Structure 1
């Protein structure tokens, strides 16, 4: 699997207009399709789990720059739209990001998050010795 520097990733496709600024995207590499720029940890017909790097927002921001959603153009589109983010991670947070490839999968994932049946675990790098080997922040 090939990855690219997220600061250099671009949406592929025809020119687009956004906020009055004309944007021309790079075409896919010759001889094949473009490579999804983030490590794929899991994929089936319903979901894609990627390893989102720290420093990368999930949504495009008002100041521009790369985002996870920019790479959605490299994924197959469905009749009902998509893909969709099943949840968000802060731009400064690295970790597993669940992307729904089907509308039913999105609704099921959102229900799990709303009901509290989906579990998220956050790890932190600390300086010094914590008072306990586990706990809640």
Structure 2
């Protein structure tokens, strides 16, 4: 099983995802094996808008945003394989199971986002997702997502 080394930079990511600042949470895709797995990264900086309030004296990336970064990575795996219109396509969470947070993520960390495809059935995509910092698991979860057109909601 060979991994196709793909270097999707931010410009390509912007053509695949509808997300924009301040909620775009993937900076680069470093590996992609179609229909199998993706590895992406998010550079966490003190300039993230949520750090002003979470928490002013000890900035910590909110766990729900780590899950969102993993979902966006899953969307990139899906959209890299499936033709779609990014201006008219929504990628929606429909379930999160077994979410666990094991390490805080702070400014200066590089979040490595690993997502593997599990299955696609009746419009629902299922993934195993894991976020790491310096080789240690920061968060993991089973994600379920659905692709809809904007008018379906």
Query: What TM-score range do you get, normalising by the shorter chain?
Result: 0.3 to 0.5
Q: Give TM-score scaled by structure 2 length.
A: 0.30
Which one has more relative contact order, counting CA pairs under 8 Å at least 6 apart? 2
Structure with greater strand share of residues: 2
Q: Which has the larger radius of gyration?
A: 1
Q: Give TM-score scaled by structure 1 length.
A: 0.32
